[in-house]
Amino acid sequence: MAQEKVNFTKAVINSEVAPETGRTYLHDAKEAGLVLMITAAGRKTFQLYKKHQGRPVRVTLGTWPEITVEQARKKCREAKVELAEGRNPNEAARTIREEMALNELFAIWMDRFAKPHRRTWLDDQRRYDNYMAEPMGKKKLSWFTPDRIRSWHQRLTTQPKQRGQDGATIATGTANRALALLKTVFNQAAPDRPNPCRNVRAFREVSRERFLAPDELRALYTALASPETPDNFRDYILLSLYTGARRNNILSMRWCDINLETQVWTIPADQSKNGAIMRVPLTAPAIEILERRHKQTSSMFVFAGTGKAGHYMEPKRAWGTLLKRAGIADCRLHDLRRTAGSVMAAQGTSIHIIGKALGHQNPASTQVYARLSIDPVREALEAASKAMLEAAAAPPKVIPFRKTGSE
């Protein structure tokens, strides 16, 4: 462990950048043994690092900024007193956690970590309720082992979906998201114990490339025009297509972020998946929908809702009904975003511009559309072939053969 010592202050800790891989450690210059551990994910945790009974002991004190520097120093001093008296704070904390059930740990994680820091906390709650609460929620933390987690993860893919096609089972991607959530809960809310998810491998996922073909788009528009389709749902689907935005951004779209005059929707950095401000140009059909809705609501959200979030929630059941009416199979709400990208590709839009339109930070995310832009390439090749054929059809220019003296 590197012995670089700095005076811990708010400014110093905030300025520390996460390492590309692994972890880095900083030692406090004022409180002996106080360490700040920084992970590649950017998580900053205060620890006491000290030898106890001849062996190094690391005691987790809390995470920044949940506890302040002064609170960390106080906890560090208290932990050192416990060690001096022959008691290991880790053992006491571990004993308490062993008696705790997963439901309790998840509730602690939601209050301390998810709600204050994660935009997706409502999705986390639904994922926990759907896949973890029933089979494992009442289990004590001492029950959890890698083998049991692995077995649960495997069984998830044999369970029927909550909603959707009859006979369909939970996708491997969904099972992987549930595993990742459980791993995060243990990492953040129970850092003093080995994470039982650590050595459980996620399923290999095949990249999904589904988008709506032209005939499917026509069928979708016909089904959307039906009087049976609720206005809220119809507008949500159409704006998803017209903007290519992520579904959570559409659901939580706010009027204060929309400029109807300049026809630009600004997605704040704290609501953007890539952590950067996104400016989405609003097309004429999108503006028409927004202007109509603006006259009909007093809510801060474009799609007002009655739940905790205050906005419309993901309409999975309505989506399933719409697909049945349209006769479309194997299509997810996220595929609307992919459809917007595929239509741009078919129009000859460059991969760079498609990436900007969809807010892709990694160029690799846009490469799926490279194969979809074959029509403009075909047109260019057709034109080149035609030119070659026209050149070939012209009478050849005869060059006389000159005899040499050797013949």
3-state secondary structure the chain: CCCCEECCCHHHHHHCCCCCCCEEEEEECCCCCEEEEEECCCCEEEEEEEEECCEEEEEEEEEECCCCHHHHHHHHHHHHHHHHCCCCHHHHHHHHHHCCEHHHHHHHHHHHHHHHHCCCHHHHHHHHHHHCHHHHCCCEHHHCCHHHHHHHHHHHCCCECCCCCCCCECCHHHHHHHHHHHHHHHHHHCCCCCCCCCCCCCCCCCCCCCCCCHHHHHHHHHHHCCCCCCHHHHHHHHHHHHHCCCHHHHHCCEHHHEECCCCEEEECHHHCCCCCCEEEECCHHHHHHHHHHHHHCCCCECCECCCCCCECCCCHHHHHHHHHHHCCCCCCCHHHHHHHHHHHHHCCCCHHHHHHHHCCCCHHHHHHHHCCCHHHHHHHHHHHHHHHHHHHHCCCCCCCCCCCCCC
The mean pLDDT of 340-354, rounded to a whole number, is 69
The mean pLDDT of 196-215, rounded to a whole number, is 83
Residue that terminates a domain, selected from 58, 87, 116:
87
> Is residue 204 domain-resident?
no
The mean pLDDT of 353-357, rounded to a whole number, is 67
How far, in Å, CA of 173 to CA of 156, rounded? 11
> Both 359 and 292 in a single domain?
yes
> Both 232 and 332 in a single domain?
yes
How far, in Å, CA of 379 to CA of 385, rounded? 10
Query: Which CATH number characterizes residue 276's domain?
Result: 1.10.443.10
pLDDT over 60 (residue 144): yes
List the domain range (segments joined by +) for residue 263: 214-370
> Is residue 375 domain-resident?
no
pLDDT at 197: 95
pLDDT at 87: 75
> Both 83 and 142 in a single domain?
no
Q: What are phi and psi of 196, to 5 degrees?
A: -70, -10
More confident residue, 14 or 339: 14
If one counts the domains in the chain, the total is 3
pLDDT over 50 (residue 126): yes
Burial class, 318, CB count within 10 angstroms (exposed 0-12 / middle 13-18 / buried 19+): middle
> Is residue 42 domain-resident?
yes
Range of weakest confidence among 57-66, 238-247, 296-305, 363-372: 363-372
pLDDT over 90 (residue 146): yes
> Both 288 and 364 in a single domain?
yes
Residue that terminates a domain, selected from 128, 154, 189:
189
Determine what percent of the chain is predicted with pLDDT higher than 90: 26
> Is residue 327 domain-resident?
yes
> Both 226 and 363 in a single domain?
yes
> Both 83 and 109 in a single domain?
no
> 386: pLDDT confidence band, cut at 50, 70 and 90?
low
**Which one-letter amino acid corresponds to residue 235?**
D
> Both 109 and 83 in a single domain?
no
pTM metric for this prediction: 0.50
> Both 362 and 229 in a single domain?
yes
pLDDT at 327: 92
> Both 243 and 298 in a single domain?
yes
Question: Which residues are registered as beta bridge partners of 160?
Answer: 169
Burial class, 286, CB count within 10 angstroms (exposed 0-12 / middle 13-18 / buried 19+): buried
How far, in Å, CA of 147 to CA of 130, rounded? 21
pLDDT at 83: 83
> Both 160 and 37 in a single domain?
no
> 377: pLDDT confidence band, cut at 50, 70 and 90?
very low
> Both 73 and 106 in a single domain?
no
pLDDT over 60 (residue 340): yes
Positive/negative CA dihedral, 284, 288, 293, 298: positive
Residues 158-169: tens digit of each pLDDT: 887 655 444 456
Residues 167-197: tens digit of each pLDDT: 456 778 889 999 999 999 999 998 878 899 9
Query: Which CATH number characterizes residue 25's domain?
Result: 3.30.160.390
Residue 135: is the preceding peptide bond cis (ω within 30°)?
A: no
> 93: pLDDT confidence band, cut at 50, 70 and 90?
low
**Which one-letter amino acid corresponds to residue 387?**
A
> Is residue 398 domain-resident?
no
> Is residue 322 domain-resident?
yes
pLDDT at 136: 94
> Is residue 318 domain-resident?
yes
Residues 255-313: tens digit of each pLDDT: 999 999 988 888 888 777 767 788 888 888 889 999 999 998 889 999 888 877 788 88
> Is residue 394 domain-resident?
no
> Mean pLDDT for the chain?
81
Residues 213-260: tens digit of each pLDDT: 888 888 888 999 999 898 999 999 988 888 888 888 888 899 999 999
> Both 83 and 106 in a single domain?
no
